[in-house]
């Protein structure tokens, strides 16, 4: 994205008069969908991403190109680059910041701890420091994760449950982000809303996550690894369709009070965004087999010390009451949309791979 394209976007007025949205992690899975949705309702949106190679960069480039085609410039910048960030805020005076950039993934964390500190803790502080110096100060909506509940067995997980026993480094950095955001609210009256997403899947999904990694191996005729807990317990997840997540994200943005406003109190909120219907990983695989029309070769493996939790399940009462959040998509319908996209992106047999595809994909 050139400076002139950026300038043109930021000088234009969208349908939400005077509102300008920055979406961090816009070339990522959820960031792409959220930025596209904001743009489709007429908002002025700028994306930011460092295009790191955690998973195939070609997919991030394709998402970013899709956004650019819709009129969302995507700036290539690392959030730790404070000078670059300040310049961007000078150009665009954002009113709303949707912070989705992160080093995601649970299993990768044990081998790459510093990537998580850099992108989830340091980068978030860099962003919030830049934000607090703006006049007026933008409001913040940021992504947290169901993983903060750790190995809790108090199902369904509720926001005021203890979330201080992380089972992975990833979870620890997401919990740190929640605490840091809380402190920016207390010190600077920054309006902050954290959203704990539960296993998000859908079109343009992440190749390192089970739905996409399994689809790929099923299509390629390779075995898939399904983890099992003690005594053969099945792993189970509150799989949530990306469009439902995006509806919750937009509602959080729309219901946030401005930061540091003399007339309204800024908000300090934290919500689960899940689906509430829990499925075992095997159930997900069976549905995927059905939709792909191919059989999976499942190899069950003991979970070991990966940092994965056995089961997640969201209580979404708070998000429902405050944000009107009501997930609409069941696992089968969501996987159907994913499979359609998969064949469209990777070719009719699902086997085409963009030439430069490199990055972390679990087997």
Nearer to ligand NAD, 64 or 267 (CB): 64
The answer to whether 56 touches 27, Cβ cutoff 8 Å, is no
**Sign of the torsion angle spanned by Cα atoms 191, 196, 201, 204:** positive
C-beta of 199 vs 275, nearer to ligand NAD: 199
Q: How far is the CB of 121 from ligand NAD (least distance, A)?
A: 10
Q: Reduced to 3 states, what is the DSSP secondary structure of residue 308?
A: coil
28 vs 166 by CB, closer to ligand NAD: 28
**Under rule CB under 6 A, which residues in 198-217 are in contact with ligand NAD?**
199-200, 206
* Contact with ligand NAD (CB under 6 A) among 49, 159, 238, 244: 49
Could you say whether residue 284 binds ligand NAD (CB under 6 A)?
Answer: no
Element (H, E) at 66: helix 57-70
* Only segment of 152-160, 196-204, 250-258, 325-333 that touches ligand NAD (CB under 6 A): 196-204
Q: What is the dihedral of CA 109, 113, 118, 123, to 10 degrees?
A: 40
Q: Which of residues 138-167 bind ligand NAD (CB under 6 A)?
A: 143, 145
Closest separation in Å from C-beta 180 to ligand NAD: 14
Q: Which is nearer to ligand NAD, 79 or 252 (CB)?
A: 79
- Kindly state the tokens that stand for 326: 């009501």
Residue 200's closest CA among 215, 189, 192, 211?
211
- Helix H or strand E encompassing 226: strand 224-228
What are the helix (H) ranges across the chain? 3-11, 29-40, 57-70, 82-92, 108-111, 113-116, 123-132, 169-188, 210-220, 242-255, 281-292, 317-323, 331-346
Catalytic residue among 32, 116, 170, 271: 170
Count of other CB atoms within 10 angstroms of residue 278: 20
Piece of the chain touching ligand NAD by CB under 6 A; list 195-203, 258-266, 296-304, 317-325: 195-203
With CB atoms as reference, the residue minimizing the distance to ligand NAD is 28
Return the range that interacts with ligand NAD (CB under 6 A); candidates 46-54, 292-300, 301-309, 327-335: 46-54
Minimum distance of ligand NAD from residue 102's CB (angstroms):
3
d(CA 330, CA 216): 22
Nearer to ligand NAD, 14 or 48 (CB): 48
Q: Report the residue number, 51 or 343, with the smaller CB distance to ligand NAD.
A: 51
Which residues between 82 and 141 bind ligand NAD (CB under 6 A)?
Answer: 100-104, 119, 123
Q: How far is CA 119 from CA 56, 205, 220, 359, in A?
A: 18, 20, 33, 17
Tell whether residue 25 is a contact of ligand NAD (CB under 6 A): yes
If one asks whether residue 197 binds ligand NAD (CB under 6 A), the answer comes out as yes
31 part of the interface to ligand NAD, by CB under 6 A: yes
> Of these, 22, 30, 38, 72, which contacts ligand NAD (CB under 6 A)?
30
Name which of 189 and 288 has its Cβ closer to ligand NAD. Answer: 288
Q: What is the nearest approach in angstroms of ligand NAD to the Cβ of residue 43?
A: 19
Between helix 242-255 and helix 29-40 the angle, nearest 10°, is: 60
Say how far apart CA 240 and CA 61 lie, in whole Å: 24
170 is catalytic: yes
Q: SS3 for 159?
A: coil
By the 8 A CB rule, do 36 and 203 touch? no
The number of angstroms, rounded, from the C-alpha of 309 to the middle of its chain's C-alpha atoms is 18
Per CB under 6 A, which region of 75-83, 276-284, 326-334, 353-361 contacts ligand NAD?
Answer: 75-83
Question: Which residues lie below 8 Å from residue 124, measured CB to CB, with a gap of 6+?
Answer: 79, 99, 142, 177, 180, 181
Catalytic residues: 170
- What is the binding site for ligand NAD (CB under 6 A)? 25, 27-31, 49-52, 60, 78-80, 100-104, 119, 123, 143, 145, 197, 199-200, 206
């Amino acid at each position: 994205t050139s400076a002139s394209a950026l300038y043109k976007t930021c000088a234009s007025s969208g349908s939400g008069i005077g509102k300008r949205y920055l979406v961090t992690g816009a070339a990522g899975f959820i960031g792409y969908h959220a930025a596209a949705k904001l743009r489709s309702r007429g908002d002025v949106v700028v994306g930011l991403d460092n295009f790191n190679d955690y998973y195939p960069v070609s997919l991030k480039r394709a998402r970013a190109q899709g956004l650019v085609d819709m009129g969302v410039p995507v700036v290539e910048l690392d959030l730790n680059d404070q000078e670059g960030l300040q310049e961007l805020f000078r150009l665009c005076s954002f009113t709303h910041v949707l912070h989705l950039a992160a080093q995601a993934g649970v299993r990768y964390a044990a081998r790459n701890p510093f990537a998580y500190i850099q992108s989830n803790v340091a980068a978030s502080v860099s962003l919030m420091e830049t934000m607090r110096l703006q006049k007026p100060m933008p409001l913040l909506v940021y992504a947290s994760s169901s993983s903060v509940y750790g190995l809790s067995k108090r199902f369904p997980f509720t926001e005021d449950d203890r979330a201080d026993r992380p089972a992975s480094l990833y979870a620890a950095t997401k919990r740190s982000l929640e605490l840091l955001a809380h402190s920016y609210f207390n010190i600077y009256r920054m309006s902050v809303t954290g959203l704990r997403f539960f296993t998000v899947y859908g079109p343009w999904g992440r190749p390192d996550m089970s739905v996409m990694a399994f689809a790929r191996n099923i299509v390629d005729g390779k075995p898939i690894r399904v983890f099992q807990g003690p005594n053969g317990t099945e792993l189970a997840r509150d799989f949530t369709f990306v469009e439902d997540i995006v509806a919750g994200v937009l509602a959080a943005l729309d219901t946030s009070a401005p930061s540091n406003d003399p007339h309204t109190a800024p908000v300090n909120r934290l919500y689960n965004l899940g689906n509430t219907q829990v499925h075992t990983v095997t159930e997900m695989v069976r549905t995927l087999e059905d939709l792909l029309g191919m059989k999976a070769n499942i190899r069950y493996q003991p979970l070991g010390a990966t940092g994965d939790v056995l089961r997640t399940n969201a209580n979404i009462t708070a998000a429902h009451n405050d944000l009107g959040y009501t997930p609409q998509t069941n696992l089968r319908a969501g996987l159907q949309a994913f499979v359609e996209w998969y064949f469209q992106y990777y070719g009719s047999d699902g086997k085409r791979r963009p030439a430069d595809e490199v990055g972390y994909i679990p087997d």
